[in-house]
Amino acid sequence: MNQVKAMSQTGLDLSKAAEFAIDYARKQGVDQSELSLHQGTGISITARQQELETVEKHNDAQLVVSVYKDSKTGSASSADMSEQGIKSTVDAAISIARYTGADDCFGLADAHSMASKALDLDLYHEWQANEAEMLDIAMRCEQAAIEHSKQITNSEGASVNTYSGSAVYANSHGFLSEGLGSQHSVSCSVIGSNESGMQRDYWYDSNRNAAKLDSAEDIGHVAAKRTLARLGARQIPSCEATVMYDSGVAKSLISHFIGAIKGGAIYKKASFMLDKVGSDVLPDFVTIAENPHKLGASGSAWHDGEGVETPEYRAIVDSGRLQGYVLGSYTARKLGLESTANAGGVRNISVSNTGQSTAQLLQEMGSGLLVTELIGSGINMVTGDYSRGAAGFWVENGEIQYPVEEITVAGNLLDMYQNIVAIGDDYDMRGSTECGSIVIENMTIAGS
Amino acid sequence: MNQDHLSIAQATLLEPSGLSDAHLQQLMQKLTNVDGSDFADLYFQYSKHESWSLDEGQVKTGSFNIDQGVGLRSIVGEKTAFAYSEDLNAPAILAAADVVSAIGRQGQNVTSRDIWRPQKIKPLYSELDPVAALDDASKVAILEQADRAARDHDSRVKEVMASLSGVYEVVLIVTSDGRQIPDVRPLVRLNVSVIVEQNGKRERGSMGGGGRHGFDYFDTAMIEHYSHEAVRQALVSLEAIDSPAGTMEVVLGNGWPGILLHEAVGHGLEGDFNRKGTSAFSGRIGEKVASELCTVVDDGTIANRRGSLSVDDEGNQTKDTVLIENGILKGYMQDEHNARLMGMDVTGNGRRESFAHLPMPRMTNTYMHAGQHDPEEIIKSVKNGLYAVNFGGGQVDITSGKFVFSSSEAYLIEDGKITAPVKGATLIGNGPDAMQTISMVGNDMSLDSGVGVCGKDGQSVPVGVGQPTLKMDALTVGGVQL
């Protein structure tokens, strides 16, 4: 609210502030400029042990300006959106650009690539709930988890979060877009204990539209079930085995893949996916696509972070073959390619499946490890070497036998992608990557 | 010095918007005008951040950011209400205070103390603004020097990526128990990472450091040290064979491998988890939780260290807190809220990422005291095992006690000798169990070079770690070689 007030004091709204900044930068003699600007408000409420624990009110604003002059660039950011604040921020960016090195690849994305048509992608659903109602949801969620079993003995609480904001992107090509967005979530984390010790697990749901969130009770029950399932977990002997990543953790494998084909890693030759465009990097039953226009999805946008028009659909991997990298204008120019409208990242990734349910995948796997949690970040993006801490379940004859912990799963990502034998249709729809459980053969498990 | 800090803080945070002591008292009155109010505070913060980055031999990008605002918090029993304002004018802050006080039930007017007594603190670092103290051309020159130092060191260096950042923060903490505490905090960091190539095989290496200094900390010797060390690590990795998989004897080098302590015991000893009984260490004060060779402290009082603070973000002086002494669990790290609820003393560990975040118990510099053994003697004692000297990140599940940390430079130990380098692997263990298996502790305690960032509940804060060389009799190494 403070920012709205600051704006009204200077007679500016977000779009006007953006135009003012672009105009001011031009008057200061820069060749090109661009900026993003956002402001938003939110509330986070946490209940623990059936009492209100914290109420947090969020109120954010940020202006980020980049300027280009003589093939050099500088950027600056600030929360101060008064006219004076905008001028100071632009001046700071210009000052930086005096000392950076020249690179012809810098600059705005090409003018002809700017998105020409604004699309309504159903990104904004204000949540009308007041704090008392949000607290009630958190209480019901935690209560469902606690009452699920006597073995749920403690709680880290349940949280309800709501955030709404508006964002503007503008550049000196004359491109300007302003849009509203929202994101709401409910989460719950509880602790179970028995003679074997304590275990914790959690569950959450998140959506732009609060009406589409899973019920508080369902989220609490899942958190409790996941926690109870881990009680009595043990280490297993080191071995080579088939590993099934459940749909919640399988997304991380897709995220490493996308990270490895990002332009920044490619032009610096710091990726294990270097020179792989046109190669079969995954089995032929795998297609990885980007769907930037998906209605109501968390990653949706009709233009990227530089104003470039996003496609409705792009196959990044088609039937196992890598189709191209993930590029913004700078990395595209460095590589002599065209931007793929990925400034700011990829938007709504979907991974194809081989048709099996979770139970069918376990059945086909026969024996192996089902991983439900990964910790640590032991990944070398230059070589693809992969080693992470894991927890999950040992599977025999297609049935879960017992919970497992204090083990690692390791391999090399290039081999791991080739060794995928199945992807389930048990998609986890939360977040901006849709992927089912992934089964990978020949991984090394380190344990006792 | 302290009076300087107070005048800097007032000039930076209060005077531009005309905030007076009367305004602060009015704000505090609103925050404490809640039934059963235990504590309230205002956290004014100004933060300036500048960073520069280099690749392909030139500094390509730079960015500059200024943030300021005030966080307002009111605590009633176990309940906390929090709001913040980026606008430091009185009406905006009073409106935020109304939001906070509306959250609790309105009750009798518990007035705050009206005697403001600035606290005397001995600063652990200079109040110099590192960003303003050096001209931009000289900052760029630091990165160019790092680039040259790496490329000149070995012809197999194909790419150098270096970044330099400086932060200048001014804070003023105003508490309902009548304190008004300023702090002025510089923080600088330089990072160098390289890609090397040999016979078509590529590898990476990186090194960096910094602390609560000006940029003059990065003299030629320091810059060359970072660059050469990054190249050395990358070249070692080129020769690395597959890492072993399984449980074995593990020797950890001194310094940065102290990330072990941060993950295996540090987080589990933060007050909030122990008050709630969710830590594997909950209720275990007085028990033996590590081998008797282990004395582990969290010490926020070391001058100029990255993890150090003259006062924490609740205005309490930092301490050298003994967590584990000769294997016995002695205490937790506490902030105001959790110390009060547990009836314990605050330890100066209340930290927050910014005015827009709630404080909670966090580590500062966590390290293990030196032991008796010569590091060479420790290596010699291992028949077959792993010697790990550099690490990436780590993580812990504080409830089950399972922790991981990922090595980036490690070697096999065979018959008491360091032999082949092995590829990075994640090490995993259970905090209370793993600490019991420490059977030798070196006499070579050292702190890390000043690069640590700790994340908790989405908030990042700078931290330090350290330890002597030490041997664990059994830890699981997550390699691929069975």
Q: Quick check: A238 contacting B, CB < 8 Å?
A: yes
Does B428 contact A376 at a Cβ distance shorter than 8 Å? yes
Structure confidence at residue A263 (pLDDT): 98
Most B CBs within 10 A among A4, A238, A414, hence the mutation to make, goes to: A238
The position carrying tokens 């010699």 is: B380
Q: How far apart are CA B309 and CA B462, in angstroms?
A: 10
Question: What integer best gives the mean pLDDT of chain B?
Answer: 94
Q: Which chain B residues are within 8 Å of A138, Cβ to Cβ?
A: none
Residues B414-427 have a mean pLDDT of 96
Longest Cα–Cα distance in chain A: 72
Considering all CA atoms of chain B, what is the largest pairwise distance in Å, rounded to the nearest integer?
Answer: 77
Asked if A406 lies within 8 A of B402 by C-beta distance, the reply is yes
Structure tokens at B141: 């020159």
Neighbour tally for A26: CB within 10 Å? 15
Across the interface, of A78, A100, A197, the residue whose CB is closest to B66 is: A78
- Whether residue A30 is predicted with pLDDT greater than 80 in this model: the reply is yes
Which residue's structure tokens are 């505070």? B41
Q: What is the pLDDT of residue B1?
A: 44
Please state the rounded mean pLDDT for residues A125-154. Answer: 96
CA-based nearest distance B368→chain A, Å: 22
Share of chain B above pLDDT 90, in %: 90
Q: What is the chain B residue with the closest CA to A191?
A: B278
Using H for helix, E for strand and C for coil, what is the string for chain B? CHHHHHHHHHHHHHHHHCCCHHHHHHHHHHHHCCCCCCEEEEEEEEEEEEEEEEECCEEEEEEEEEEEEEEEEEEECCEEEEEEECCCCHHHHHHHHHHHHHHCCCCCCCCCCCCCEECCCCCCCCCCCHHHHCCHHHHHHHHHHHHHHHHHHCCCEEEEEEEEEEEEEEEEEEECCCEEEEEEEEEEEEEEEEEEEECCEEEEEEEEEEECCCHHHCCHHHHHHHHHHHHHHHHHHHCCECCEEEEEEEEECCCHHHHHHHHHHHHHHEHHHHHCCCCCCCCCCCCECCCCCCCEEEECCCCCCCCCCCECCCCCECCEEEEEECCEECCCECCHHHHHHHCCCCCCCEECCCCCCCCEECCCEEEECCCCECHHHHHHCCCEEEEEEEEEEEEECCCCCEEEEEEEEEEEEECCEEEEEECCCEEEEEHHHHHHCEEEEECCCEECCCCCEEEECCEEEECEEEECCEEEEEEEEECCEC
Give residue-wise pLDDT tens across range A393-439.
999 999 999 999 999 999 999 999 999 999 999 999 999 999 999 99
Is the Cβ of B278 closer than 8 Å to some Cβ of chain A? yes
Contacts of A130 (CB under 8 A, 6+ apart): none
- pLDDT band (50, 70, 90) for residue B105: low
* Mean pLDDT computed over every residue of chain A: 95
Residue to substitute from A96, A266, A374, interface B, most B β-carbons within 10 A: A96
Is A363 in a helix, a strand, or coil? Answer: helix
Length of chain A: 448
What pLDDT was estimated at residue B117?
A: 62
Residues from chain A that touch B95, judged by Cβ atoms under 8 A, are 1-2
Q: Decide the pairing of beta strands B296-299 and B320-325.
A: antiparallel
CB within 8 Å: B59 and A101: yes
Residue A1 binned pLDDT confidence (cut-offs 50, 70, 90): very low
B192 is written with which tokens? 């160098």
Contact flag A101-B402 (C-beta cutoff 8 Å)? no
ipTM: 0.94
**Which of B249, B262, B240 has its CA nearest to residue B425?**
B240
End-to-end C-alpha distance for chain B, whole angstroms: 59
Report the C-alpha gap between B447 and B198 in whole angstroms: 33
